[in-house]
Structure 1
Amino acid sequence: MSTAAEMPALPAGDERAALVVQWAQRHGVEVAQRLADAEDFADAVQRRLTPANTTDTYAKAWRVWTRFCTDQDFPEMAPTRGALVAFVVWLLDRGQVSGKGYAPSSASTILAGVVVELRRRGAEVSRDDQAQARATLEAASVELLKAGERRGRGQAAAAEVPDLYRVVRACPDTLAGARDKALILTGFHYASRAQDPTGLLAGDVTLTPRGLVVSVLTGKTKHSVRDAKINYQADPEVCPVEAWKAYRARLAAEAEPRWSEPTAPAFVGVDRHSNVTGGMVPDSVTRA
């Protein structure tokens, strides 16, 4: 039987280390090492499957938390009940870099991200402490509403058909203009968010006798695929199917063949010289 001196190096983190010791005592050191390796593999898979925007949200939340701790001279790894309550009040009062307070919805997202990051780093955040911070946030949000204060951008104005004509007529006669026209018209018909078109490959958009079928990846955390059906429209000027066909024809004529492959991005980035730069990202979709 293996001795304690032969035990493998323990993974980082007190909880994981304690688990490995238990596994070694119950099953032997070799089995404990295999189980530890499986845990590392599971962690790597989770990191790979976590959406980039979620990772960015956690990273931003942690930066806000570190600013708060510096401002209040609190230790980062001591998320006590009082510290969390003070944090949400600080978020609403002056949490932004500009010194302005966050909107309650943004403060809620930041708090959730901070809790995730604290736990990932080994800090204990009890449910009761987190619940009191959230109760404080909700109460403060109500007070803001009573005072007539509205924060955040609010709900975006919905696009209507006359808006589509204005957008289409504003698109220049270029590859980027043809892409933007197809992007806007197809997105209008399946109510796309900025990140939806960025996840599309050319093979996800199928031309049928009735129009297009767009296989859209939906959901922020739990993903699924829905097939959005877009029919031909009576007016070719604002027809998403005709716009898609025109864009793809222009892309095939003006760009390298690889950008027309089924595995290429459905909507490509185009620089001011009409060179394809790769796939679009949510920010570039928003700008378009």
Structure 2
Amino acid sequence: MTLILEAAATGDLPEPGSAPAPLDPAAAERQALIERWAGRHGIDAARRLAEAEDLADAVAAEITPENTEDTYAKSWRVWTRFCAASQLPEREASRGSFVAFVAWMLREGQQNGTGYAPTSADTHLAAAVTGLRRRGVAVSGDDQAAARKALAGLEVKLLQAGERRGRGQAVGADIDGLRALARACPDTLAGDRDKALVLTGFHYASRSQDPAGLLTSDVTLHPRGLVVAVLTGKTKHSVRNAKISYADDPAICPVRAWTAYRTRLVAEQGQRWADPSTPAFVGIDQWGHITGGMGPDSVTRAIKRISARAGVPIAWTGHSLRIGLASVARRKGRDGIAIADQGGWARHSRSMLGYMQREDGWGDNASAGLA
């Protein structure tokens, strides 16, 4: 029966008298599922259901962002290091192993022997669970919950001991910072690129991958400003057409900065850069040569470099523009739904509300003016 069902699932018939090859846990689980389908519905229906499963796997692979896959791969390596250090089997999941995993991560999990920040440990736990399930390992929700409860309790212990780990939330961009950055940009193609990158990115709450993924055709002029088609988002909310208006202050106007950059790029580097299929933001080396389109890492490095050149008190990161839009728009009294739509958050998103950070805890203090 097993050989027949394998043929039903794959279309391959085994050689007469041959024994089936050993299956890994994931394949064994799929095989058992196909056998149950065949028993209930017949071999033809089992074949069609198996094909539907293959399609589902292909769709899942297609819609999973590359950076998410990178996280899964990195976290699985962390899990395998833990299992090797603890002499536990990799493909086994239990309450005790998960709790031991989070404790190990906080204590010594990093490659240099230091502990991870709790947020990083939480990410690795979730991704390791995904890795186990992908490999056919059954993971109990109760066991995961026990590990998360242990992680939360250990984080409190770290805070009580005065230990705060991790970089914390990136500093948010603000209007004074934008002015400083714009003034510090040199009168060169790279300087114009930097100014357009920061000013437009702030106004649509960009992540590093967003400007890196833009083509020239994704940024269009409109009588009232720019329309930026952001197609690199992870959710239906973050894939959007963000509208950017002309600013009252020409020095930090994103529309004027974009137009000046693109005009100079074509004038100095040739008409081919006006082609709609070319990258919106190009890499430029120290000699002024175009190196191709910018990637997410180069966008992050550029924002750090631009902010350092401007002398802002705390260097900006690739996420500073995103945080800044939410924070500044909230302080200016913009509606939360309008902020969410512009920045590609789900309405009433917890992360967006977190980005609406208070500068010093005094201006919007809940206890102020009550007595």
TM-score between both structures, scaled by the size of structure 1 = 0.89
Distance 1:108 1:25 in 2: 41
Deviates more, 1:152-161 or 1:105-114: 152-161
8 Å Cα contact 1:198/1:281 also seen in 2 = yes
Identify the residue that residue 232 of structure 1 maps to in structure 2: 246
What pairs up with 1:26-37 in 2 under 5 angstroms? Answer: 26-37=40-51
Distance 1:26 1:125 in 2: 26
8 Å Cα contact 1:175/1:251 also seen in 2 = yes
Identify the residue that residue 144 of structure 2 maps to in structure 1: 130
Distance 1:6 1:233 in 2: 66
Distance 1:174 1:230 in 2: 24
Deviates more, 1:202-211 or 1:260-269: 260-269
Distance 1:6 1:228 in 2: 51
Aligned length, in residue pairs: 287
Say if 2:229 is the partner of 1:212: no
For structure 1, the 5+ residue unaligned runs are none
Identify the residue that residue 204 of structure 2 maps to in structure 1: 190
Report the Cα offset of residue 174 of structure 1.
3.3
Instruction: Give RMSD over aligned pairs.
Output: 2.5
Say if 2:166 is the partner of 1:152: yes
Q: Deviations over 1:219-250 (max 9, x none)?
A: 54555433322222233222111110011112
The AA in structure 1 aligned to 2:184 is: A
Say if 2:283 is the partner of 1:269: yes
Identify the residue that residue 40 of structure 1 maps to in structure 2: 54
The AA in structure 1 aligned to 2:240 is: R
Distance 1:174 1:68 in 2: 50
Identify the residue that residue 183 of structure 2 maps to in structure 1: 169
Report the Cα offset of residue 282 of structure 1.
1.7
Change (3 A) 1:9 1:96: farther
Deviates more, 1:200-209 or 1:111-120: 200-209
Deviates more, 1:17-26 or 1:125-134: 17-26
The AA in structure 1 aligned to 2:206 is: S
8 Å Cα contact 1:218/1:226 also seen in 2 = no
Report the Cα offset of residue 207 of structure 1.
0.9
Report the Cα offset of residue 258 of structure 1.
4.9
Relative contact order: is structure 1 or structure 2 higher (C-alpha 8 Å, sep ≥ 6)?
2
Distance 1:223 1:198 in 2: 19
Report the Cα offset of residue 180 of structure 1.
1.4
8 Å Cα contact 1:217/1:223 also seen in 2 = no
Report the Cα offset of residue 5 of structure 1.
4.2
8 Å Cα contact 1:7/1:29 also seen in 2 = no
Report the Cα offset of residue 84 of structure 1.
0.8
Instruction: Report the secondary structure of 1:215's partner residue.
Output: strand
TM-score between both structures, scaled by the size of structure 2 = 0.70
Identify the residue that residue 21 of structure 1 maps to in structure 2: 35
Report the Cα offset of residue 217 of structure 1.
4.3
Report the Cα offset of residue 148 of structure 1.
1.9
Deviates more, 1:247-256 or 1:218-227: 218-227
